[in-house]
Structure formats: structure tokens, C-alpha cells
Amino acid sequence: MSTLSILLFTAGLAVAQSSVAETPSYATVTSPATATLTSTSACEKADLVLHNTTIYTANDSQWKAQAVASLANKIVFVGSNEAAKKYMCGNANVIDMAGKTVFAGFTDSHQHLEGVGKRTKTLSLFGLPTLKQTVKEIENWASSVPDNNWVLGRGWIEREWTDEQRFLSRHDVDGFTANKPLFMPRADGVSALVNSKALELAGVTRHTPDPEGGKFERDESGELTGYVLANAMNVFRDIIPKDTDAYLKDNLLRGLQANVAMGWTQTQDAGMPYRLVDLMQQIHQQGDMLHRVYASIPVLQAEQLFTRGREKTADDMFDVRGIKVFIDGTLGSRGAALLENYSDAPHNGFMNRITQEALVPILHKALQHGAQVQTHVIGDRAVRSLLNWYEEAYNTVPKEEWAQQDLRWRMEHAQVITPRDQQRFVDLNVIPSMQPSHGSGDLNFAGARLGQARLAYAYPWKSLVDKGLKVVAGSDAPVEVGDPRIEFYAAVARKRLDGTSGEGWHPEQAVSRETALKMLTIWPAYGAFQEHLRGSIEVGKYADFTIFNRDIMTVPEQDILTAENVMTVVNGQVVYRREN
């Protein structure tokens, strides 16, 4: 990882870690009205007025403005500074935004909120530059863990190491964890390092068969390496002591605080179990929801979704509507399912994290119940298979049972899509939910995994947009940093964070800044059936704004990453303001 990306992540994590204690940063700003009305002017009621700025509305019919006013939680005015003066009266909180830029509130279309919060208080290996330093950090952390307790953390990623680029193995850590089981997911979250003690407790030996949709990696002699993929992780998760509700709730609160500090006004949670849903309902009832959350339920709890139905708060702060499914693994771990073998391995990945036989009946029920389906697919084989299964469901369930529904089924990640299958997204009305930062990070290894020919249709953001598709952008945090600046930059630059590129990286697949803004605002609102409520700055919509100290629509490309979020407004309330 470049020095810049390490600094960006460290800064963001520092904000998140400190935010729990620094409550004033999340308090509503109060300021007196700063403009007086003429004697002939009528005072129009408003709670909040932002003026003297450039506002990017994400609304094609009025792309820019100078001022915006809101009353209660809705926008009542968008226009010029002069026309806004009639709202700068009474008890309005009027804020001069000189030198700052206001955007329609940013949405992270694919995130894991509890994991973002957990990252602030556990061992994070994200951004370490070498294998040696990574192992040293694990050793230091393990030294504070009592014997027979689990050594837990997350975030190691070999693609960034400058000394060796290989997966961690149990031999790296066994020397200092002999009496402590260890479980350390890779940054992708769908593979992990375990040590010999963890293998022993789980009863996994060299003779243990790989589970369906997973793998225990072995060396050339057949011995377990301690690197486990996908469903093979479950045998270790099952024996780790369960988190308490209080611990999980604190993680959710920390995640909310970290996100508004970054500038997110909504996150779309890709697989929130009902235990966390119930805790989120508590947080909402207590008035502690700092930003909106749109959630999908893990497929294993799909029947509960069909029974409980959609759960939405009256203020649209929390909405549960979908089902999250996993099909394959990740490209970095060589778990993504490809049509042809990897260029650097004699296999083509694996599927069946859920089998077709198990998934198709759930797809049928989702159609009948009007549930959105969001499916993790990365390789071209997984993408094609899922398109087939989606189409099969459409053709099998009688159309009178679902034809009037606005499905908006999604594919999450969809990193490698053949040209033939790109058109099928259009034909089947499937939303591509993609993470630009994966493109920047995967630049370090995608060529080796795929070869130059397949790179031509990897991360094809521009091709999909040109076909008329609304690409919704997210970060997949805590897999990635979870910073809107990084996602915006990656979408428009299609480069590493230090500005460098690589062979065959197809810069023509970068998108314009106007498109990147839509990918983080109005299109994610569409992906959550909320485009009539939010996603752009228009009268009648929710007052959700992200305010930066620089105009990322006009600054030089590399300077996008140096912009800072200075204020986040959700539901007409200033939920975060950077001091000074």
C-alpha cells in the first residue's frame, strides 16, 4: 500500500477511534441567522440554511446551486444566495459555507457496519507494508492475550507487502501462539489465517475433507498451511466465544460515528443478521442513529425475512428489505469462480458457497415476497451462473405473481464480466453494485491472476454505464478503508492511490466526475428504492449533505484525496462537524 493510502486509512481510523469520546464533534451546530430581511420581504420558515458555496445536487435538471434550506428533515429550497435570503431569518441555523463545497449526501452502497466499528477496537493489520511487520504486529497483540484465549484481528493483505507477497501460514505465528488459538481474516473477509492450536480445537487435520464452497489450503506434502477460504472459515467461527449484545451494539455505534466522520449519510449493509437488526432498532429508538442504514439479511435467515417482512422506520433512517447471498470467493485469494483457469494457478476457483439447488427456491420466494436479492459474485463464471439463476427464477415463477414488482436485484462486486454478460445485466434489469477501490487495490495482482486478455473486461465501470446501467458504488469496508474520497478518486482515475497505473489497466474504463458523483449519491438511492426520497438535493427530499473543504469536481485528480470532510448533515441535522 502506498504511503498516501496508509495515511488516509490511519487518519480515518484515528477519527473513528476518538469519536466515541469526543461527543461535541457529533453535536448539532448552532449559529444565529447571518442575514436580515428587507422590510418588504416575507420570512420563510427554515431550520437550516447553507449558503455562499457551490452545491452539487446530483440532480440533472439543476446540477449546481449556491444555497440550500431545510425545514424539519426535508429540503425546502435550492437556488441562489440572493433567493435564499428569505430563509435566513427567525430561528434558522444559517451557516456561511465559504471555501467549502456541498454535495448530495454520499452513500456507501456496500458496507458491513458492525465490522467497521469493530475495527476501531481490535487488531487491524490494514496498510502494513511488509510481511515481517505484519507478523510482528500479530506477535505484539498476541502477547497481551492470556493463554487459552483467542487471538483475533483482521485486515492483512499480502498484495501490499514489499518484502514477500504470499499468504500467511500457521508457521508464521505458531512460535508465539502455541497456547492461544488464532483467527485472523484476510482483508477480503472471505479467507483467514488460523494457527495450529485453532486447527486442533476445531478437529481439522490433513485428512479433513474440504467443505462445500470452501477450502483448507495444503502444501505440496498435503499438510495444512493454516490458510482457509470461504466456508472453511465457519468451523472456526463456530468455536470462537460468542460476542455479547453490548459488545455488538458498541461496534454498531462506533461504526455510525466512523462513517459520518468520513462523510457518509447512508450505508447499505450487505448481510446484517437479525441479531444486529434488532440492536439497530434499539439504537434508532434511543435516537442514536447518526446516518441512514439500508440492510439486507444473510441468506441463511431468508425465511425469517419472508415471515417478518420489510422493516422500515417512519423517518427512513433504517430499512430492511433484501437478502444477501454469497456465490464465490475473491480474486486475491484465488477463490473467485472463473470460466477458465487462473493465469497463475492450475484451477478456476470455486462456487457453491450456496448451491444452485439451495438458492433457486429462495429466489422464487424472493420474487413472490418482493424481496431484493443482493449476491456476492466476483469471477466471470459466478457472474454468468447467477445471471442464469436470476433468469430461471423470472421464467419459472408465474409472471402474474411478480411482474408488477420493481425487482432491482443486484450483483455485488461483479469484478469480471464478459462482454456478452454485460448486456445481460441490461436485459435482466440487474443492478451492478461495484467498489472502485477494489480496482485500485487489485491493480497489484489482477494481471497475474487473470492475464492481459481478461483484464479487458475486468472492473468495467464505464462499459456498464454506457449501456445505461446505474452502477452503485461502495467500499466494502472493513475490507477496504471505507472513505468516499478513495472511492471517488478510484472511479475517476482508475489508478493506485499514489497516481501510478499498470500494464493493461484500461484507463478508458474510468468514469467522469459527474458519473462518479451519481455512483455515490442518486444511483445508490435507486439501488435502495429511495430515489424519490434522497440521493439528490431537491425540494421535498431528505436534507442529507456531505460537505468537503475542497471541490473534488474541479481540483486536480490527485488532490481529490487531500479533501477533508468538514460537515455531515443527515435528516436536516448536523451529525458531524470537524473542529477548526
Question: Residue 217 is part of a domain; what is its CATH number?
Answer: 3.10.310.70
Instruction: Supply 276's cell numbers.
Output: 444486529
Whether residue 107 is contained in a domain is answered as: no
567: left (phi over 0), alpha (psi -120 to 50) or beta: beta
Is residue 136 domain-resident? no
Q: Which residue has the cell 480474486?
A: 331
Q: Both 231 and 86 in a single domain?
A: no
Let me know: does 8 contact 558? Beta carbons within 8 Å. no
CA atoms within 13 A on the CB side of 79: 9
Q: Please tell me whether residues 337 and 445 are part of one structural domain.
A: yes
Q: Which of 186, 213, 238 is the last residue of a domain?
A: 238
- Kindly state whether residues 92 and 194 are assigned to the same domain: no
Q: Going residue by residue through the chain, which has 580 residues, state the pLDDT in tens, using 9 for 90 and above.
A: 444 444 455 445 444 444 433 333 443 334 444 444 543 468 999 999 999 999 999 999 999 999 999 999 999 999 999 999 999 999 999 999 999 999 999 999 999 999 999 998 889 898 899 999 999 999 999 999 999 999 999 889 898 899 998 999 999 999 999 999 999 999 888 899 999 999 999 999 999 999 988 999 999 999 999 999 999 999 999 999 999 999 999 999 999 999 999 999 999 999 999 999 999 999 999 999 999 999 999 999 999 999 999 999 999 999 999 999 999 999 988 999 999 999 999 999 988 889 999 999 999 999 999 999 999 999 999 999 999 999 999 998 887 777 667 889 999 999 999 999 999 999 999 999 999 999 888 888 899 999 999 999 999 999 999 999 999 999 999 989 999 999 999 999 999 999 999 888 899 999 999 999 999 999 999 999 999 999 999 999 999 999 999 999 999 999 999 999 999 999 999 999 998 6
Residue where a domain stops, chosen among 205, 238, 271 = 238
Q: What is the DSSP string of 291-316?
A: SEEEEEEEGGGHHHHHHH--EE-TTS
Total structural domains within the chain = 3
CATH classification of the domain holding 402: 3.20.20.140
Long-range contacts of 396-401 (CB under 8 A, 24+ apart): 396/364, 397/364, 397/367, 397/368, 401/367, 401/368
229 with 177, same domain: the answer is yes
Shortest CA distance to 459 belongs to which of 368, 563, 331, 554? 331
d(CA 164, CA 256): 36
Query: Are 81 and 171 found together in one domain?
Result: no
474 and 507 housed in the same domain: yes
Q: Is residue 12 situated within a structural domain?
A: no
First to last CA, the chain: 30
Of 125, 122, 131, 111, residue with least CA distance to 6: 125
Q: Is residue 229 part of a domain?
A: yes
- 275/359 same-domain check: yes
Domain that includes residue 482, residue range: 245-577
Does some domain include residue 37? no
Final residue of a structural domain among 59, 76, 99:
99
Q: Are 332 and 287 found together in one domain?
A: yes
Angle between helix axes 419-427 and 380-396 (nearest 10 degrees) is 30
Same domain, 334 and 449: yes
Residue 105 inside a domain? The answer is no
CB 483 within 8 A of CB 12: yes
In a domain, 16, yes or no: no
Q: Give the global pTM.
A: 0.88
| E strand intervals along 97-213 | 101-104, 106-111, 123-124, 151-154, 182-185, 191-194
| Same-domain check for residues 270 and 234 | no
- Domain assignment of residue 126, yes or no: no
Question: Does residue 537 sit in the same domain as residue 479?
Answer: yes
Are both 217 and 321 inside the same structural domain?
Answer: no
- b/e for 546-579, b at 16 or more Cβ within 10 A? bbbebbbbebeeeebbebebbbbbbbbbbbbbee
